[in-house]
């Protein structure tokens, strides 16, 4: 019989620090368990007792997926936990994960949703809830789903982290969208505005899918956050940008003149890159995508170069290196978010532009 080895490859000091880190992070999450019947969930959705965050409202399941979910409910299959956050100001539960399931339940029980083709319950195709027998309706309404509620004392960052972890790999799991909903404010309004800059759009080709995932808003945010300094950057991009956005919303609110300053910073950078780099942020003239690491290097490197030399805009600069093997290697994707790589590619561009 095999036994679990107790010997560790790490020294006692590191093990104690690791235990302390686990303990500290665990304290940030406070929650309790709830259980609701399908009927109660539909009524709570209808009465707006649950809040659907703005970063989830634009995404809806297609009818085929709704039908498949309702089929699982009717068959009594286990349904994954719902996750909520207890809003301290309204007292209502904000849906961290499960909005699609809850909206589908409401649409089926209280709306006009009609089931499509089903793999197991094929005879129910075309049925609405009211078409079912009364006994079947009662059985469906009495089924229950459990939920986990993060209480009002749970830290805001922990709520954000939970959403990211739960939705990893799904179409709504992107930090730019979450920041948009959770941290709406004057700074983020500017980010959204600049993401629609016509020249910026032309210089940063992305797929329609990436546009819908707020890719250009992500790029604008990274330009400001990295350009303002990486002192608190710990190789976790989403956490760094989250705290930065929150901080800047407060600063913009307290000092409205900052908006014009940051807008000018961005547009000057865009004009400079457009003038000095043959393909802008793209690898080639025909490129249909914008690698983040390449964008970061050119955008922030150019901004920092302009800070050091205010006359650089009027100088003739050779940027042929931007299509060379060395720059391609520096902006490669392997370990791209490690701070050493991030600083390295930004400084590479800055030093090249300053001819050092």
- Give the tens place of pLDDT for each residue, 32-67: 899 999 999 999 999 999 988 765 656 678 899 999
Q: Residue 170 has which token pair? A: 């799904």
Alpha-carbon span 349 to 324, nearest angstrom: 12
User: Do 164 and 178 contact (CB within 8 A), yes or no?
Assistant: yes
Least Cα distance to 321 among 351, 296, 292, 290 occurs for: 351
User: Do 247 and 183 contact (CB within 8 A), yes or no?
Assistant: no
User: Do 205 and 199 contact (CB within 8 A), yes or no?
Assistant: no
Chain centroid to CA 125: 36
Q: What is the pLDDT of residues 205-244, one digit of tens each?
A: 998 888 877 899 999 999 999 999 998 888 778 888 888 9
Least Cα distance to 97 among 86, 82, 87 occurs for: 82
**Angle formed by the axes of helices 175-182 and 156-166, nearest 10°:** 140
Q: In this predicted structure, which of 3-7, 124-128, 228-232, 284-288 has the lowest mean pLDDT? A: 3-7
Strands (E), the chain: 31-37, 50-51, 82-86, 93-97, 144-150
Q: What is the pLDDT of residues 297-328, one digit of tens each?
A: 999 999 999 999 989 999 999 999 999 999 98
Torsion from C-alpha of 63, 69, 71, 76, nearest 10 degrees = -170
- pLDDT of res. 60: 73
pLDDT at 198 > cutoff 50: yes
Burial class (CB in 10 A: 0-12, 13-18, 19+), 280: buried
Count of alpha carbons within 13 angstroms of residue 165, beta-carbon side:
8
Q: In this predicted structure, which of 87-96, 99-108, 122-131, 303-312 has the lowest mean pLDDT? A: 87-96
- pLDDT of res. 313: 92
Q: What is the pLDDT of residues 128-176, one digit of tens each?
A: 999 999 999 999 999 999 998 887 766 666 666 666 666 544 444 456 6
Residue 84 CB neighbours (<10 A)? 22
- How many angstroms separate the Cα of 293 from the Cα of each of 303, 348, 353? 15, 12, 17
pLDDT at 17 > cutoff 80: no
* Mean pLDDT, residues 96-118: 92
Rounded to whole angstroms, the maximal C-alpha distance in the chain is: 81
Alpha-carbon span 225 to 242, nearest angstrom: 10
Alpha-carbon span 294 to 283, nearest angstrom: 8
User: Do 349 and 302 contact (CB within 8 A), yes or no?
Assistant: yes
Alpha-carbon span 268 to 314, nearest angstrom: 13
Alpha-carbon span 106 to 116, nearest angstrom: 17
């Amino acid at each position: 019989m095999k036994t679990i080895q107790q010997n560790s490859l790490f020294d006692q000091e590191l093990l104690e620090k690791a235990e302390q880190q686990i303990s500290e992070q665990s304290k940030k999450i406070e929650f309790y368990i709830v259980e609701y019947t399908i009927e109660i969930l539909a009524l709570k959705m209808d009465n707006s007792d649950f809040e659907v965050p703005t970063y989830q409202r634009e995404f809806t399941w297609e009818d085929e997926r709704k039908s498949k979910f309702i089929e699982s409910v009717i068959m009594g299959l286990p349904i994954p936990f719902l996750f909520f956050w207890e809003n301290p100001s309204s007292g209502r539960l904000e849906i961290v994960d499960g909005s699609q399931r809850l909206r589908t339940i409401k649409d089926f029980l209280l709306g006009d949703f009609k089931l499509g083709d089903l793999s197991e319950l094929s005879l129910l195709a075309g049925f609405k809830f009211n078409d079912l027998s009364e006994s079947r309706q009662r059985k469906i309404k009495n089924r229950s789903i459990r939920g986990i509620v993060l209480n009002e004392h749970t830290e805001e960052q922990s709520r954000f982290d939970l959403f990211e972890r739960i939705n990893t790999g799904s179409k709504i799991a992107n930090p730019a969208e979450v920041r948009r909903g959770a941290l709406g404010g004057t700074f983020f309004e500017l980010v959204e505005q600049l993401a629609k800059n016509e020249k910026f759009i032309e210089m940063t080709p992305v797929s329609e899918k990436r546009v819908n995932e707020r890719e250009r808003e992500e790029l604008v945010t990274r330009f400001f956050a990295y350009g303002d300094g990486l002192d608190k950057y710990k190789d976790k991009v989403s956490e760094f940008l989250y705290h930065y956005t929150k901080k800047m919303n407060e600063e913009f609110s307290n000092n409205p003149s900052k908006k014009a300053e940051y807008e000018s910073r961005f547009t000057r950078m865009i004009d400079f890159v457009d003038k000095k780099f043959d393909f802008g942020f793209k690898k080639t003239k025909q490129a249909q995508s914008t690698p983040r690491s390449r964008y970061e290097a050119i955008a922030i490197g150019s901004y920092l170069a302009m800070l050091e030399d205010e006359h650089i805009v009027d100088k003739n600069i050779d940027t042929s290196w931007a299509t060379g093997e060395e720059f391609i290697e520096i902006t490669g994707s392997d370990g791209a978010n490690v701070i050493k790589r991030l600083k390295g590619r930004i400084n590479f561009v800055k030093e090249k532009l300053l001819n050092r």
